């Protein structure tokens, strides 16, 4: 069980009253007289996010008042995520139902996250006694996986290179009895991963292809592919300082795929799971790949490098080709790929791409239910010509500056053949400023929605 939660009897836990302008009078009448007087003296108003800790008295324990939005809709069901860091030490319970009890409990757990690897941080022992009608193991499972993704992304690149990412993947595999292997360094060329090798060869930290396998071979094949660029200088097309600052998060696709895989394995879903992570560092040295270099790919297509800063799609191309050789029933890939996606949709709303309308509808349904926002974008075939090369089968970037996220997805689509269904997610994997349930820093995006889909299909 995640340390933010307890499942013991909650009678002694401190009650949290969720209030709105519509319910405040009724809830106030249920409070002890001293608590009513204290709330009035403190000037408490049931505005969204407003918090008041009530004092104890001889006849009743203290409690907490917490304001929510008024209305029939759920508003922001993650608003209770603020409680995890705002309350004094203690064990709490929901005295009445918020707009969505499951999401409120989940938000509490997600909001309790702190990254403390490098700095001692004073923490308060704040716990939530989960309501008995919730599936406690499921809530805990999701919170623990999100913490894994956040920890991996938040770790600076000096401690999270390709080898360390492999070690983290092996640790997840060992926890659930999954098989793990890796192809490292020049062995990538021997085993036909030329694009992964080309991107990672300039670094003193050897590139690699990490693979995990778990589950019954007779179950449906689900393959997850995550971009693991542990730091991206941009290569010879080097990034400016402002664009390079957060590039420790460029392995956010791999981090979120590992978090998703952990959820799947921990839940024991009936799938034949395969996880593929191309892990590299895109560095600058005498051996760096160059603009207008041409490389073969695992699939056999030749690729002209229009820009060395479009490296994530190159490593994913070889990984997707490998994934499709197994003809999976469902193929998911995820990566922090384009600034164009952020320009179009911002940091909190990742786009996804698929040609499968039924899969898209399922993803959208679960994204809404889980409040893990996603937005379908088109694989607009007429834009494929933007990737034309005069000397190779394709360029890795489009001519011009338009439709960058779409053309990236179209590039990846060239390497997908054999999968029965495929979806691509262009995530940001970072929260620029803290929000309820989402502290500033590395973020778990899309994984909760995809897990909900997989759980519905393969439980």
Distances, alpha carbon 242 to alpha carbons 72, 154, 245, 278, 349, in Å? 43, 18, 6, 25, 22
pLDDT of residue 120: 83
C-alpha 314/C-alpha 207 separation (Å) is: 13
Return the closest-CA partner of residue 22 out of 74, 65, 68.
68
Give the pLDDT confidence of 73-125 residue by residue, as tens digits. Answer: 557 899 999 999 999 999 999 999 999 999 999 999 999 999 999 998 877 78
Are 248 and 360 in the same domain? yes
Distances, alpha carbon 92 to alpha carbons 36, 61, 79, in Å? 20, 11, 16
pLDDT of residue 74: 58
Are 144 and 114 in the same domain? no
Tell me the sheet residues that pair with 51.
66
Are 332 and 392 in the same domain? yes
Q: How many residues does the chain have?
A: 459
Here the CATH number for the domain that contains residue 307 is 3.40.630.10
Are 9 and 120 in the same domain? yes
Here the CATH number for the domain that contains residue 27 is 3.40.220.10
Are 73 and 164 in the same domain? no
Tokens of 37: 């007087």
pLDDT of residue 329: 98
pLDDT of residue 94: 95
Is the CA virtual torsion 360, 363, 368, 373 positive or negative?
Answer: negative
Are 119 and 145 in the same domain? no
pLDDT of residue 56: 83
Tell me the sheet residues that pair with 423.
332
- Give the active site residue among 28, 170, 213, 239: 239
Are 87 and 146 in the same domain? no
C-alpha 298/C-alpha 296 separation (Å) is: 7
Are 212 and 277 in the same domain? yes
Are 222 and 109 in the same domain? no
Question: Cα angle vertex 182, ends 181, 184, to 5°?
Answer: 160
Q: Could you give the residue ranges of the DSSP H alpha helices within 79-209?
A: 83-86, 101-111, 136-154, 162-176, 187-190, 194-200
C-alpha 205/C-alpha 118 separation (Å) is: 23
What is the three-state SS of 39-83? HHHCCCCCCCCCEEECCCCCCCCCCEEEECCCCCCCCCCCHHHHH
Tokens of 411: 């590039």
Tokens of 349: 């709303």
Are 130 and 227 in the same domain? no
3-class DSSP assignment, residue 358: helix
Are 107 and 185 in the same domain? no
Catalytic-residue membership of 420 = no
Give the burial string for 172-199 (b: 16+ CB within 10 Å, else e): bbeebebebebbbbeebeeebbbbbbbb
Domain end position, chosen among 134, 168, 193: 134
Domain end position, chosen among 87, 113, 134: 134
Catalytic-residue membership of 239 = yes
Q: Which domain holds residue 121?
A: 5-134
Are 185 and 255 in the same domain? yes
The answer to whether 256 touches 279, Cβ cutoff 8 Å, is: no
- 75 — alpha (psi -120 to 50), left (phi > 0) or beta? left
Question: Cα angle vertex 217, ends 211, 221, to 5°?
Answer: 65
Domain end position, chosen among 134, 161, 176: 134
The answer to whether 351 touches 445, Cβ cutoff 8 Å, is: no
Number of structural domains found in the chain: 2
Return the closest-CA partner of residue 378 out of 415, 406, 399, 397.
406
- Give the active site residue among 313, 413, 438, 448: 313
The answer to whether 154 touches 442, Cβ cutoff 8 Å, is: yes
The number of beta carbons lying within 10 Å of the beta carbon of residue 85 is 15
Tokens of 391: 């000397």
The secondary element (H helix, E strand) that includes residue 312 is helix 312-324
How far from chain centre, in Å, is Cα 129? 26
Which segments in the chain show pLDDT lower than 70? 9-10, 57-61, 71-74
């Amino acid at each position: 069980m995640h340390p933010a939660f307890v499942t013991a009897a909650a009678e002694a836990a401190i009650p949290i009253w969720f209030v709105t302008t519509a319910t405040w009078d009724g809830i106030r009448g249920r409070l002890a007289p001293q608590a009513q007087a204290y709330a009035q003296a403190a000037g408490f108003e049931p505005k969204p996010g407003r918090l008041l800790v009530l004092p104890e008295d001889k006849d009743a324990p203290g409690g907490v008042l917490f304001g929510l939005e008024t209305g029939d809709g759920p508003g922001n069901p993650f608003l209770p995520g603020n409680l995890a860091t705002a309350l004094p030490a203690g064990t709490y319970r929901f005295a009445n139902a918020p707009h969505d009890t499951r999401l409120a409990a989940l938000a509490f757990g997600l909001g309790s996250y702190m990254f403390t690897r490098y700095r001692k941080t004073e923490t308060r022992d704040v716990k939530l006694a989960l309501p008995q009608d919730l599936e406690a193991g499921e809530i805990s499972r999701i919170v623990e996986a999100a913490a894994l993704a956040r920890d991996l992304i938040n770790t600076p690149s000096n401690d999270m290179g390709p080898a360390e990412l492999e070690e983290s993947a092996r640790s997840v595999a060992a926890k659930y009895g999954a098989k793990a292997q890796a192809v490292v360094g020049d062995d990538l060329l021997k085993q036909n991963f030329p694009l992964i090798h080309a991107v990672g060869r300039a670094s003193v930290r050897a590139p690699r292809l990490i693979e995990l396998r778990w589950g019954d071979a007779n179950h449906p094949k689900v393959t997850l592919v995550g971009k693991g660029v542990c730091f991206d200088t941009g290569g010879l097309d080097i990034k400016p300082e402002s664009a390079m600052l957060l590039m420790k998060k460029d392995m956010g696709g791999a981090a979120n795929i590992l978090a998703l895989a952990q959820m799947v394995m921990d839940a024991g879903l009936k799938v034949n799971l395969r996880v593929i992570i191309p892990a590299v560092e895109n560095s600058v040295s005498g051996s760096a790949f160059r603009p207008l270099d041409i490389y073969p790919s695992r699939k056999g297509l030749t690729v002209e490098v229009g820009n060395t800063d479009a490296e994530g799609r190159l490593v994913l191309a070889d990984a997707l080709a490998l994934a499709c050789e197994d003809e999976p029933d469902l193929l998911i890939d995820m990566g922090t790929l384009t600034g164009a996606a952020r320009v179009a949709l911002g940091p909190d709303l990742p786009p996804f791409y698929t040609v499968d309308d039924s899969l898209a509808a399922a993803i959208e349904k679960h994204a809404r239910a889980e409040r893990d926002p996603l937005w379908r974008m088109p694989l607009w075939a007429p834009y494929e010509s933007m990737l034309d090369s005069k000397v190779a089968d394709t360029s890795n970037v489009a001519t011009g500056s338009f439709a960058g996220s779409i053309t990236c997805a179209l590039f990846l689509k060239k390497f997908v053949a054999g999968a029965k269904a495929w979806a691509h997610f262009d995530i940001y994997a970072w929260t620029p400023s803290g929000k309820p349930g989402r502290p500033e820093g590395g973020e778990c995006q899309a994984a909760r929605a995809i897990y909900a889909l997989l759980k519905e299909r393969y439980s």
